[in-house]
Amino acid sequence: CAQMSNMHEQRLYAVLSARQLQSRSASRRMVWHSPALLSRFSLKTRLVHHSGCVNTIAWNEQGTLLVSGSDDCRICIWSAWNDDHAKLQAAYTTGHRRNIFCAKFVPLSGDKQVVTCALDGSVRLTDVNNPEGADQRLLGLSSRFVSKFEFVPGDAHTFIAAGQDGLVCLYDLRHPVRAQDSFQQQPIVDLSAIGGCTTLAFDPCNPSIFALGCEDPLVRAYDLRKVCHGHDESVHSQPLQAFAVEAHISSRGRRHPQGGGLLSRGASGLAYSMRGELIANMRGDSVYRFDVLRPSHSMTEVDGVPTCTAVLSEYSGRVNDDTFAKEVCLLHQDAYIATGGDCGNLYIWHTVSAKQVLKVRADACIVNCLAPHPSLPLLAVSGIDSDVKLFSLGDSRPADADARQSGASFSRTACGRRQRRVLRVELLTAEEGQKRLEIATAHRERGNSLFRSGLSVNALVAYESALQSATFHPSSAQIQVEQQRCNVMSWLNLAAVHLLAKDYREALTCCNLVLKVEPENAKGLYRRAQARLGLDDLGKCDADLKAALGLMPGDSALRRLQCRLSAAQRKGRSKENILRGLFSSEGRADNFRLLRQTGEDGDAGGAISGSQEHGAEDNDTVDEGSDDEDSDDEVSDDEDSDDEDSNDEDSNDEDRGNEDSNDEDEDDEGDADEDESGSNGGGEPGFGGGDDCPGDDIEAEGVQCEVLEDVGNAD
């Protein structure tokens, strides 16, 4: 019986396996219902050719070609079904004079015709079959821009287009345009009294029904058969029904007043599921799923239109304010819902549970367009960037989408929308990111050589170049870890150069960046303590030293710095007592004598024989005009940044001049070992140094070796 049962299971398995191989949709369901596989959905390829924002992307029916349209008024056709070998097939001019907003292949045209609409208000047909260049044909002209169009399901010749003038027009490619006045198409829906139309979508369960988004909270549903039948006599603008979130509608059934600027409310993207459920991506709000099949239990009337407020699910957690073209789509047999955000991330939720299952970086600024492949687990994404990104299954997990990039080329964090677009950090594939990190490593190693040669200013430029090369959004978690390590070493080296030039504020900034990534980095704590000692912030210097000693209790460099701190604290306490005594009843002669004696004792206690800790005189200065000064804003949220300004005046105190002059004398003999290469600017300021330094091998065993590496050795 056991053998027969086993044979039955094997036969059943064989039958199910055969069905799975024969059913492409079953295979996709198995793959994409696995959370483990979905968690490896990451950027695989970038399609680069456009010179402006990519505002539209669409696959052909077979999924072999992808068309994209951009602000550069061109369309590109890509062979992109294989993300490992995606390439540009051709790029065409369209005749548009302004940004292209929507582009699609004409069905049953052999992918030789593409329809486009644009900001200039024109709707055009481009024939790419001409070997000498594409032929353009003007189909219609609107008084405002045309944002979106959709072909009528089952009809390769007709499509409807939504315009910012509030009109929805029907186009038929079989009707030639004979006269200039016929460029103005006859509308089938007129919502000009309400505002512009932004998006539309057809219901696959009822192909004659289409949903229309406008500049108000309502999403209206129309029957194409009825509006087309009545458009000869008068424009039929009464919808069958509407959909809205109840919170957006007042208790009297009227729309809330409009607020904000252009296209400040309404739907930016619409999609229907295979079951006929309506998905609406609302501007300034969440994504909602409405019950189209059973809306009667929650119907209300808004401006005379029966309105369904039955929300099945709300998908929240992202911002949709900045653009009117943010689309929404369903993935993998409607199992997931995807859209973009103003932060540049791609968001994916589980359709039924509304749980967010994935958030990955997909644009340097804003994600607008999504185009799922008709059969493969492949998703094309575009936005403000001038490229198209293909997401698919990767070898490793995607990078943390919330990680903030810090570096010399992207240091201003408090910037507005326009500044974000100028200062945006590019998103790279894993292969591209690896190449950039290799370039950054080469810059850093060149900086180490320059520093050993006494060329600290040139070394600073090399380290900043390393940071600039390593400033990008990584697509994989593995590259993200390597990038953080590369940045940490570059910041530590920059801190050492700034300490050498006594530019303590910049050194503090670099150390703050290190400790924001690695809070227990002993070398970062050590150098920040040095910077704070130079800024007379003795309390926080002591805290950093204690934290570093907790990590490395036996390190000699930390002990030597602790002695310098103790001497500075004693000197400060003595001066406070003397200044307090100057106004007491005791004799002024005794006070001045005590002041002079204490000053001499303080200098003697802080002076240690040997060369300078930082190895160079003031003849090696740091170029204050370098890009690194911008990085000060990168840590504006750090708890220590506010204290830097408060210590600025203290550092200019009359006693500060004496401390600066004695700063070199206060270095102990142990610090002199850190600069065995001499005092002509060729020293290597670091943590430990000299005999404590493990040498040039960054991979030396033990935490002690990794922490005690010097700037010229491993960083």
In this predicted model, what pLDDT tens digit does every residue of 242-253 receive, in sequence order? 999 887 775 434
Q: What is the DSSP letter of 684?
A: -
Cα–Cα dist 193/255, whole Å: 14
Q: Tell me: pLDDT of 650 over 90.
A: no
Cβ–Cβ < 8 Å for 544, 640: no
- Position with higher pLDDT, 436 vs 691: 436
CA angle 383, 407, 492 (to 5 degrees): 155
Sign of CA dihedral 237, 239, 243, 244: positive
Residue 17 counted as domain residue: no
Displacement of CA 294 from its chain's centroid (Å): 40
Residue 245 counted as domain residue: yes
Cβ–Cβ < 8 Å for 334, 321: no
Closest CA relative to residue 696, chosen from 678, 676, 710? 710
Would you state the pLDDT for residue 37? 72
> Do 493 and 388 fall into the same domain?
no
> Do 68 and 115 fall into the same domain?
yes
The pTM assigned to this predicted structure is 0.74
> Do 389 and 443 fall into the same domain?
no
Sheet strand arrangement including 87-93: 54-59, 65-70, 74-79, 87-93
Would you state the pLDDT for residue 497? 97
Average confidence (pLDDT) over 331-336:
90
| Buried residues in 577-597 as b, exposed as e (16+ CB within 10 A) | ebeeeeeeeeeeeebeebbee
Would you state the pLDDT for residue 503? 96
Q: Indicate the range of 34-43, 383-392, 590-599, 703-712 predicted with least confidence.
A: 703-712
Please tell me which of 123-132, 453-462, 577-586 the model is most confident about, judged by mean pLDDT: 453-462
Would you state the pLDDT for residue 31? 52
Confidence of residue 36 (pLDDT cuts 50, 70, 90): low
Domain range enclosing 492: 430-667
Cα–Cα dist 144/138, whole Å: 16
Domain boundary among 340, 368, 394: 394
| Residue 6, phi then psi, degrees to nearest 5 | -65, -40
Dihedral angle over CA of 274, 200, 224, 162, nearest 10: -160
CA dist list (Å): 689 to 59, 66, 271, 523, 616: 60, 57, 63, 12, 15
Would you state the pLDDT for residue 556? 93
Would you state the pLDDT for residue 641? 37
Cα–Cα dist 575/570, whole Å: 9
Q: Tell me: pLDDT of 287 over 90.
A: yes
> Do 331 and 474 fall into the same domain?
no
Q: Beta 241-243 vs 305-308: how paired, if at all?
A: parallel
Q: Tell me: pLDDT of 225 over 50.
A: yes
> Do 516 and 663 fall into the same domain?
yes
> Do 455 and 587 fall into the same domain?
yes
Helix (H, G, I), strand (E, B) or coil at 251: coil
Tokens of 634: 């990168």
Would you state the pLDDT for residue 296? 60
Would you state the pLDDT for residue 292? 84
Average confidence (pLDDT) over 370-392:
94
Cβ–Cβ < 8 Å for 610, 664: no
- Position with higher pLDDT, 181 vs 217: 217
Would you state the pLDDT for residue 281? 96
Residue 692 counted as domain residue: no
Q: Tell me: pLDDT of 368 over 90.
A: yes
User: What is the percentage of the chain residues whose pLDDT exceeds 70?
Assistant: 67
Residue 413 counted as domain residue: no
Confidence of residue 435 (pLDDT cuts 50, 70, 90): very high
Tokens of 312: 């099945």
Domain boundary among 394, 419, 442: 394
> Do 463 and 325 fall into the same domain?
no
The total of structural domains in the chain comes to 2
Domain of residue 498, CATH code: 1.25.40.10
Confidence of residue 453 (pLDDT cuts 50, 70, 90): very high
Average confidence (pLDDT) over 146-156:
95
> Do 446 and 525 fall into the same domain?
yes
Q: Tell me: pLDDT of 662 over 70.
A: no
Tokens of 251: 């208790």
> Do 347 and 439 fall into the same domain?
no
Would you state the pLDDT for residue 693? 30
DSSP-assigned beta bridge partners for residue 311: 290
Residue 678: count of CB within 10 angstroms of its CB:
12
Displacement of CA 15 from its chain's centroid (Å): 46
Residue 273 counted as domain residue: yes
Would you state the pLDDT for residue 578? 73
Tokens of 542: 């002591």
Cα–Cα dist 55/514, whole Å: 38
> Do 352 and 479 fall into the same domain?
no
Q: Tell me: pLDDT of 95 over 70.
A: yes
The overall average pLDDT reported for the chain is: 76
Confidence of residue 584 (pLDDT cuts 50, 70, 90): low
Cα–Cα dist 13/29, whole Å: 17
Residue 399 counted as domain residue: no
> Do 365 and 481 fall into the same domain?
no
- Position with higher pLDDT, 567 vs 185: 567
Domain of residue 198, CATH code: 2.130.10.10
Cα–Cα dist 490/189, whole Å: 60
Sheet strand arrangement including 100-105: 100-105, 113-118, 122-127, 135-141
User: Hey, what amino acid is at 591?
Assistant: N
What is the length of the chain? 715
Residues 6 or more apart from 318 whose CB is under 8 A from it? 339, 340, 341, 342, 343, 345, 347
Q: Tell me: pLDDT of 689 over 90.
A: no
Domain boundary among 344, 376, 394: 394
Residue 227 counted as domain residue: yes
Would you state the pLDDT for residue 705? 31
Average confidence (pLDDT) over 361-374:
94
Q: Tell me: pLDDT of 633 over 60.
A: no
> Do 347 and 435 fall into the same domain?
no
Q: Beta 122-127 vs 267-272: how paired, if at all?
A: unpaired
Q: Tell me: pLDDT of 634 over 80.
A: no
Q: Tell me: pLDDT of 367 over 80.
A: yes
User: Hey, what amino acid is at 628?
Assistant: D
CA angle 670, 675, 678 (to 5 degrees): 130
Closest CA relative to residue 402, chosen from 359, 445, 432? 359
Residue 36 counted as domain residue: no
